[in-house]
Structure 1
Amino acid sequence: MKLIELHIYGYGRLEDYVIESLDNFEVFYGENEAGKSTIMSFIHSILFGFPARQSSEIRYEPKNTPKYGGKIKAFFPDRGIAVIERVKGKAAGDVTVSLEDGTIGGEELLRDLLKRMDKSIFQGIYSFNVHGLQNIHGMKGEDLGRYLFSAGTIGTDKLFNTESYLLKEMEQRFKPGGRRPLLNEKLKELKEVQASLKNAEQQNAQYSQWVHEKEALEIKIASLESEIGLKEQKLLKLREYKRNEKLVIEAASLERKIEEINHTFFPEDGLSRLEKLNEQIKQTQARVLALKEKQQHYQDALENNKPDLELLAMDTEIDARIENLPLYDQLKQEKRLLESKLEEITEETSLLNDQLHADFDEERIQEINTSIFIKDEAEKLQLSQQRLSDKKLQLEEEFEEEKRTLAELEANADQVKRQLLDDDRRIQLMSELDLLENRERIQTEWQHVTDQIKEVKAREATDKKRMIKQQKKARQQSFLLGGIFLIVLIWGIVNGTWLLAGVGAAGLIFLVVGLLQSADGTEQDHSAESQVLSKLIEREKSLKEAMNSQPGGNLFSTKSLLAKDEEARLLETELNIKIGQQQQRFDKVVQQFEAWEADNASLKQKKGELLKQLGLSKNEGAIKLLDAYHLLEKQKAYFRERKRTRENLRAVTESLAEMEDSLKVLALRFLQNGNLPPMEAAGLLKRALREAMEQQAKYRELASKLSELGEELAGLEKEELVLRKEKMGLFVQAESDDEDEFRLKAKNAELLKGWKARQEDINHQLFASGIGDKDREEILTGISLEEQIEGNTLKLDACKRDLTKQFDSIADVKHKMKMIEEGGVYSELLHKYHQLQHEFAEDAKEWGRYAVARDLLSRTIGRYKDERMPKMLAKAESFLYVLTDGSYRKIIPQPFGSGFLIERKDHVLFEANELSQATAEQVYVSIRLALAAVHHDRYPFPIIIDDSFVNFDHNRTARIIQLLREMSKENQILIFTCHRHLLDHFSDKEIVHLGEKSKNAV
């Protein structure tokens, strides 16, 4: 689809606003509040309907006019040019679509033209603005990659938002290893109640036995109730059989009667058809006799009316001569007018020669080239002359403006340069900064070493106190153990138990060795701590000496001076860049002046050449080229008109002579008088021809009637034959030899019809009672219905008595169970357990819905990545290569989930959040443009862009605009902007200045 023209009747602040002749690449420029957003919304509204009143979108209803809406003229490749008009009506407006083949339709035709495209999908793929880039600025981490993936899928962040929403809802309900989500809490509570319930069940063994007994009784009761129901249904069925027994017997009797006489076929309504055929045959025979008499009467009249065929053969020529009589007088008048006109044209040609200061005749004027190409050249030269004059004024204004701007930038650069530090002073300050920063580092390290010394000393004091306590406790334990071992040794020696004596001696030896080792370990630990402390003290001393040797000075003031100098140097660099750019603009204006002078000289040369082609000299005064062309064209037309007038005069004279001669010949042949005046001869010929034609018409009428009678007579004879054949066909169908036998069979057929009607009525009654063919056989051939009803009644009563006994038994069991349940613990736990189970199942279903939705979304994303995304990414990679000037080459989908990896030219991969903001914006723009490009074959819609490149620098802006120009060869590109500096990249014919009435006016 290509938009050709927009006509806004009333939409927002725009009223009766027209934009015509839209090309494939258009830029809509206007200041704030000029109507850019209004026009974009207008395009969406005409194509897809006005926004609903409760919608968040603005409806842009006009305040000063009752007209709301407008129309769009667009070209569709498969349907041609269409005019889409939408005005105020129902919520979305009333739409009318007119095609160039004359087809007119409404919403359905518009949906067909738009290939069922949805408004949100259209805005997501083909219409985007700066808000997409602003979303990139506010995202961190993997969210940026998922957002870019969503933009590459459906053009908006809906996929990203949907995925985040589903994950958030799932985690609010259940999270593996979580505690606070609802399902985690309920699962924990359910396990606790289940454990308590099992404990309660172990204390109620008798209760479990009664539960089993109750379940067995419930099963037996259900079985008895089912059996009672079946027997009651059987009893009802038998009673229904008894009620319809007479109808079944009657139906069987009718079936036997029908079988007896239903072996022959008799045609439907055969008797009435026979009577009708007999009547038709009689009527046809009477009409045949009447037509034969009428045919003889017309034959006689035809012989008495024969016309003059020779005169009638000349009727065309006579009518032509008579009809030309008014032309005869007209030709005489025309001859006089042509002679007068010839004199006027001669005078006009003489006057035009005087105005052109030339002497053109018929031969010379035809040599002058006044083709449409010469006219177009004259118009172009005249317009070029006017354009060059306007261009000169514009260039003079731009020259002064660029010159003033360049002078201001140079003055600012000189002022900033005076604020810079000289190189020696800057080197001195940087050296001082290094020394001061070193001093600060040494002071920090000294403070840290001092803190470590204090910590080691504190730890030594603490360890010393702890060791004293441990040694005291160890001595006490050693004395105790030593006393025990000594007692064992003495006891063994006294009693002669040498084994006990050996154990006591060995214990004393081990105890002494342990005390000695413990003392050595303590001394070693103390020695290690002392070495660490001495090293720290030496480091503290060396740092203090280094700190005292550092020079004095203020670190903050030094940094401040260097920062100000650095800021001034950056400003100077920026101003130098701007001066370079401004110098280029200034040189560009000077070059345009030079180009203007060359164009002006070329224009003068072309003007002289064109005057020479028109047969005029350069010194013809101040006459304009286009005026001279029109005068020459007019002179040429006068000479052609004079030639045509002479030829017409000669033709009129010849026609008058030819008309007079032809009338004389006809009068001599049919009126025997060749000297009559033309008017009198024509009247007599006309009267004779009229009489002959009346006689011929009467003859033809009689012949036609006679032919019609013959055809009607033949038709009646055929009709009679057909009726007789149809009558014989009825006899054949009924297998009858004559009419009497046919009538007898008709009587039997009537009886059969009555029996079948009664049989159908009985079958309908039996069907309504639910009695089928098997039921009929059972009624006719089975046991007596009274006996069956009595037997089933007895069995049903026995089942009901058994059911009453079972109800008594289960009531007793339930009473015993209730006695235990009223004890409290088990019943309450059981009720709580079932309630928690139900609540957990309901919450799990809710979680499952979100889980299934997220799984379906993941599968859809995976299918898109495998089937459709490769084509889109190939296009996006080519766009990104152009936008980044070859710095980034590939866009690779993440192997799991959504998101992208971006490959730099040195084959290093980056996640989306690792890119700079500017590069992330370029990736976003590449994906959005590629999404529109790959959908173009199926949905060839225009791409609408609203200020999406304002954050790009000059080079990136130039590259994106060049890319859009390439895309405009296939897609129509519409760009809306309020930034004037972007207009330098476009030609005047590509820019629509909003505020004008039409593009052509701009």
Structure 2
Amino acid sequence: MKIRKLVIYGFGKHENKTIDFRDGINVIYGHNEAGKTTIQQFIVQTLFGFPQKNSAQLRYEPKAGGKFGGQVHLHDEVYGNCIVERVQGKSSGDVTVYFEDGTTGGEEAVKALVRQYDRASFESIFSFSILQLQGFERMDETELSRTLLSSGTTGVDTLLRVEKKMEKEMGDLFKKSGRNPEMNVRAIELKEMEKELKSEQERMATFAPKMDRIHEIEREWLEAKAAYESLRDQYRALELELQLLPLRERKRNLARRLDEVRKSSFPSDGIRRFEMISGRLTELEAKKRGLSAELTAMAEKIPTYPRPEMLTEMERLLAREPEWHEWRSAVGSIHERLTQLNLKRMRLLDRLGLDTSDELLQADVSIHQEEFLYGQLQELNDMNQQIGYIDRQLTQLENELRDIRTDQLSLQKNSPTEAEKKQAEEWPSIRRRLAEAKAYVHMSRSSRDDGNPQLLWMVLLVAAAISIVGLIGDQWIVVGLGACLAVIAALSKIGKRSDQPSLKNVEMERFINEYAGQEAEMEALIVKVQDYEQRHSLLEEAAKANERKMGVLEEEYGAIVQEKERLEQSISEFFVAYGLRKIPNPGILHEFFGMARSLQEIERELEDAARQSAEIQDKIRMRQTEVERLVPAGASESSIYEKLRSDYLSVKEKAQAFKALTQKIEETQMQKQEVGELLSSLRSQQQDLFTEAGVETEEQYYKAYADYQESLTLMQQLEDIESQLSVHGAGEDVSGRSEGELREEVHEVERRLADLEEIMNSFVKEKASLEVETEKLLTDDSYQRKQQLFEMKKAEFGELAKQWSVRQAVVEAIKGMMEELKEKKLPEVLNGAEKLFSELTGGTYMSLALSENGYFHAVAQDGRRYPIIELSQATKEQAYIALRLSLAAAKEKTAPFPLVMDDPFVHFDEMRSSRMFKIMERLSAKHQFIYFTCHDKIVEYWTNATIINVSDIGSAKGAMIR
């Protein structure tokens, strides 16, 4: 399986982004916070579902809103080219799989595509990062060996966690020589309780005979009580019989009267049924007339039925609408691809310094030619490095200058207006005048109120003191304020003779009313203006200093370039044949030839894409011709299916209207027929009522009803008496006993009840005496309580033993499974891992071995075995990575997934990293690698890989690929 492209609608910080991948190694490069992890999570979550909202994993919903989700374009050896699209919907998202044959699928299709793997299984084999390697230093030998074992076999890590948990819980339940585990504590308690129960049993043995007599008395008392209750029931029955004698006599009299009156019959509920049938007949006759009128109106409105073959053809074309959109999408994708290829071609030409590619397409870009040029350009390498260093410094300064300009623009947007600046400049003067006005008005009012000359002199003294303080401190504003206060006091002295305020006083009050209450607002405005001017000045100084540094660097850059041109002059003629106007850097000679080869490959891809576009355009024109036969001409290509759908809905609506009206006519005719049949039935029921009542007319029918009511009244009275008798459970009197006989029998039962009461009282007295005797010997129920507590403890102990047995069975099953994994599955992975581990360590260690107790050892060249815990951090990581890569290789046939790595080699030195990269390049023939990194050296190493700079990812135009 290969990932061809990612189309991100909205995921985290990425929105409307497209990223293309290729076979082999794909390096996703970007600085911290650039969004690399977001892309890695997009791949995993699109294939395996978004996390739950309450999950610890992030959902990466778009920061700025918009559509959540995207597409992953795949190529699979079994399913071919397909697209997995997942967007926001249910908790894990709504997923759709588009196959190249035009079919689609849902979650089941995704599971089949990922070979029924879930996210945890995928990440345990095919995705790992530096975070999984950072905990090695803190592991002991057992934890480290188990981690390596789980990396070489899928599912082992889960089994190991379960085994450890079960062993801990078993230890908490029972230990052979322990005292604190729950089962040990319960066993000790049971032994002590068993001794106490035996003691209680011996003490209770002396009370058995007396208890037996008490039980015998209770049994005899119960027998006497049963006989007493039976006589009581007989007594109540005789009393009831005496009470019911008058009711039975009344019942016999009503029965004789009913036999005399009952001479006519009448239908049950006859009047209500007759009136209901009469009303229903009137209603149905009116309904029948309405249905006839409705049928006539619908027959006039029925439309013409449209041609069925036209509707069928429209449905066929609409069913193939996804194919039409897929063609158009494919054309757009091809155009996008052509645009990207042309852009890439232009970028390559720009980087090569060429206007056209004609000369370079015919040029020799073989390895021999590259080696020949490399020797000549090696002399320019040092100078190119200097130029690159200065260029990076200039870029950094440009970025800093751009940030300064951005801050200036942001500051300018929030700058105070000219009116605010003017208000801030004028406010000190206004504030001084406002204070003078307030003092003047206050003094004027005080003078008018009480005319106190002492207050005037006090104000003058205060004014003099303020002026002296201002003179001492060289604060002329304070001196002016004191003088103003003195003038105001003098003026108030002059104007105190008048009862009305002076014109100046009125002017001062108007000034106070205009500006009073604005002090806080204007002070805040002054602070805002001062802060703006200070920040503006600082930003201007920073920009000028940055520009001066850039000028110095640019001068140095120009001097180095001149020296470089002198060296390039001697070999410039060699590159004329390649169409180059300047000599490339020796360090990028390999990149130049790689770009030249890429340029030739792009030209071939452009020709292939143009051919595919022409074929699809032919299909689009043929489909457009088919659609235009059914819709009026003139519709554009983008709206032709909308027009077809609109016409189809119109035709279908006419057909549905015709069918609906036809169906309604048929239903109305059936309703009319049913109404007629119901009318006949009701007339027949009306005649049946007349026949049952023995009459022929409606008047005779009502007269028969009146005759029937008297018999009903008598029957109701008879029923009331029977209901009273039934309440007491009395039936017919078959004994024939008189009232005197019943009363004599009642007296006999009363005598027998008195004898039984005397016998029962004697039993009660004897029992009470025995209970008093036994109470001194046994006054509590301690034995029962201890017996019950003993049984409860036994049940608790049994439940704990059951729990311990279950956990023991689980541990034994996991151990058996682990042994089977070591013997059958792990050797295959270890064989491949040994070769990789040996290559990674440069032959220092020849293989990895697993001891009988489950610990990993590294075998050196001399045969010595070193426990994995004694190796360095980097060597432990090499063993882990070797096992993971070997496991992925072993599952190539059943799970051919790409390998996703997030900077797992940062602890490796340069030599170990070089070996690791060579192994990845060798494995990339069968596996696709997606490598996330923020290190420039890794990008520089993989010149032949697909480099995707996350910082340069554009919108729908795709990612920047080098």
TM (norm. structure 2) is 0.42
Whichever of the two has the greater Rg, that structure is 1
